Amino acid sequence: MIEKREITLTINGRSHGVRIDPRRTLVDAIRDDCGQTGTHIGCEHGVCGACTVLVDGEPVRSCLMFAVQADGRQIRTVEGLANGAELHPLQQAFIENHGLQCGFCTPGFLMLATGVLEREPDISDEDLIDVLSSNLCRCTGYENIVKAVRAAAAKMSAGR
């Protein structure tokens, strides 16, 4: 009999005490135990990036972590990007640049870009493409995603 564990998942600054099986993935715990369904599951084997969240500031594939491994860490998801009614520059840029169609991959791209731009605001074009090649999108053909991230990067840089 596998014992459940009591852990605390701190998501966007709020603590969630949950009791879960060790095998419960972080993405399932975020979505179903903590009710934050903005993070999506696209493949569950670490390729598509739809499940990307930030753990202690780093972009991570939450389908490849077990929730128990995130006990006590700072997790940030798409729900935490906006500041009330005020959208994050990346969110605004995605809207303005038509960077989404079905929206399923969008939270993953937003968190990937947030993690990277916060760490490296002046990232080169080539490195940015390299980072964005981490995630799959099936609707947009990527062009507008790249535009949106670049536009947001410029804003975030200027705002500094």
Q: With binding defined as CB under 8 A, does residue 7 bind another protein?
A: no
**Considering CB under 8 A, how many residues would be counted as binding another protein?**
77
Residue 60 or 153 having the CB closest to another protein: 60
Q: Does 142 bind another protein (CB under 8 A)?
A: yes
Residues 102-121 that bind another protein (CB under 8 A): 102-107, 110, 112, 115-116
Quick check: 8 binds another protein (CB under 8 A)?
A: no
CA distance 20 to 4: 5
If one asks whether residue 9 binds another protein (CB under 8 A), the answer comes out as no
Q: How far is the CB of 35 from another protein (least distance, A)?
A: 9
Cβ proximity of 5 and 72 under 8 Å: no
Among 10, 64, 121, 155, binds another protein (CB under 8 A): 64
Which residues, in sequence order, are CB contacts of 53 under 8 Å at separation 6+?
26, 27, 30, 39, 59, 60, 62, 75, 76, 77, 111
Handedness of CA 98, 48, 22, 76 (dihedral sign): negative
Asked if 40 is part of the footprint of another protein (rule: CB under 8 A), the reply reads yes
Shortest spacing between CB 121 and another protein, in angstroms: 16
Q: How far is CA 79 from CA 38, 97, 110, in A?
A: 6, 20, 11
